[in-house]
């Protein structure tokens, strides 16, 4: 079975893989495309998170709801990703954004994995040449209900929040209408699953970070994007499977449900 993370040597042995650059920014939806244009891995296609990996934001559903399966399928077709394509995705922020694409592909039965280290760990040359992918046949498939959790599915379930510690505590909130976190949630900042070099921490260190996971759990963040990285790290470690809460804090914050600070 394809692991959720691979290294550059594995990639070199799989030249058939389609590289997907999923760089993005919560502050500026156009920043990822600018970074891609400035330099990307040779042959990589750019996948726009806000256009193809999320539906329009709303208070009821959060900032990055899952898109309609047909919208996702169209984005994959345009990127040259078909039903049988092997996809290796990366970004420049601990694979916190690229994980959304990989999770979406894996839960719908496609072969996808993250390049450990992302672009920051890539030692080869970058290019500004933009490939012209041949449109591929990608079948739209519904999001599997057993991989998802909703706002009313959280009671009595372990909730891991992947946001940075400051936002979890309620400090400096600029993205959502309220600060804080869901009462009882546990903070496991996904960007801290990697070291300063951008590569995953040793497995023993990761297991210590996820020590609280001993049964069913739900992964959240600000809007269901970076939460996917925690899900893939847990899969890498062989831990009990978690579910994604797509609405995450942005959905909860738009209600009058209680919030915790600190």
**Active-site residue (options: 81, 221, 228, 254):** 221
* 221 carries an active-site annotation: yes
pTM exceeds 0.95 for this model: yes
What is the token pair recorded at 246? 């797509």
What pLDDT does 172 receive?
A: 87
My answer on whether 61 and 93 are in the same domain is yes
Q: Across the beta sheet with 186-187, what order do the strands follow?
A: 186-187, 158-161, 217-220, 242-244
Domain that holds residue 51: 5-142
My answer on whether 105 and 17 are in the same domain is yes
For 156-195, what is each residue's pLDDT tens digit?
999 999 999 999 999 988 888 899 999 999 999 999 999 9
My answer on whether 112 and 167 are in the same domain is no
Of 142, 169, 199, which residue is a domain's last?
A: 142
My answer on whether 122 and 231 are in the same domain is no
What pLDDT does 140 receive?
A: 98
My answer on whether 138 and 150 are in the same domain is no
Among 103, 99, 228, 252, which Cα is nearest to 170's?
Answer: 252
| Count of H-run helices and E-run strands, the chain | 9, 9
For 95-113, what is each residue's pLDDT tens digit?
999 999 999 999 999 999 9
Neighbour-count burial of 196, counting CB atoms closer than 10 A to its CB (0-12 exposed, 13-18 middle, 19+ buried):
exposed
What's the total number of domains in the chain? 2
Query: Stretch 197-204: mean pLDDT, rounded?
Result: 97
Determine the Cα–Cα distance for residues 175 and 146; give it in Å rounded to an integer: 29
Q: What is the CATH number of the domain that holds 101?
A: 3.40.250.10
81 within 8 A of 12, measured Cβ to Cβ: no
DSSP 129: P
Transcribe 85-97 into DSSP letters: -EEEEE-SSTTTT
């Amino acid at each position: 079975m394809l692991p959720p993370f691979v290294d550059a040597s594995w990639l070199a042995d799989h030249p058939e893989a389609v590289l997907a650059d999923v760089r993005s920014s919560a502050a500026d939806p156009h920043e990822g495309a600018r970074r891609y244009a400035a330099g990307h891995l040779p042959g990589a296609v750019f996948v726009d998170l806000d256009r193809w990996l999320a539906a329009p934001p709303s208070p009821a559903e959060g900032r990055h709801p899952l898109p309609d399966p047909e919208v996702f399928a169209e984005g994959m077709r345009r990127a040259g990703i078909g039903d049988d394509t092997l996809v290796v995705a990366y970004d420049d922020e601990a694979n916190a954004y690229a994980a959304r694409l990989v999770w979406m592909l894996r839960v719908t039965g496609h072969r996808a994995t993250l390049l450990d280290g992302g672009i920051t760990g890539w030692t080869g040359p970058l290019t500004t040449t933009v490939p012209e992918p041949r449109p591929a046949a990608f079948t739209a498939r519904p999001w599997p209900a057993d991989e998802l959790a909703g706002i009313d599915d959280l009671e009595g379930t372990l909730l891991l929040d992947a946001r940075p510690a400051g936002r979890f505590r309620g400090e400096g909130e600029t993205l959502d209408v309220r600060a804080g976190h869901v009462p009882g949630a546990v903070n496991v900042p996904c960007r801290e699953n990697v070291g300063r070099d951008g590569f995953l921490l040793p497995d023993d260190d990761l297991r210590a970070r996820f020590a609280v996971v001993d049964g069913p759990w739900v992964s959240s963040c600000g809007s269901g994007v970076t939460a996917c990285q925690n899900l893939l790290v847990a899969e890498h470690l062989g831990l009990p499977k978690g579910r994604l809460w797509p609405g995450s804090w942005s959905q909860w914050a738009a209600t009058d449900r209680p919030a915790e600070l600190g």
